[in-house]
Structure 1
Amino acid sequence: MTQTWTFDGDRTAVTAEEAVTVLQRRIAEGRLETWLTSSAGRLLSVVSNAERALW
């Protein structure tokens, strides 16, 4: 089974390309911390200072 990822508890899975687009939009809006949840129950945090990101 392939693992899928969703943003902040949203039920819609995103592709890697969609995730990048959403992260770029959120950073541009000043939302510098984002959490994703995998279908396997894993959590991933992406934190940015608007120039660089750390996950």
Structure 2
Amino acid sequence: MPKIVDHNARRRLIVKSVWALIGRRGLAAVTMRELAAEAGFANGGLAPYF
């Protein structure tokens, strides 16, 4: 049985995570790898949301 994912909740988590990183490090310093770690996903797990 496939895992049921709430994509809207995941998008909100990603947005919240990126703003937290921007606040700490600045926009120019944020990488996708750091964003994935902050949100608790694998680096490749963010691609479907962009």
Q: TM-score, normalised on structure 2?
A: 0.40
Q: Which has the higher strand share?
A: 1
Q: Which has the higher helix share?
A: 2
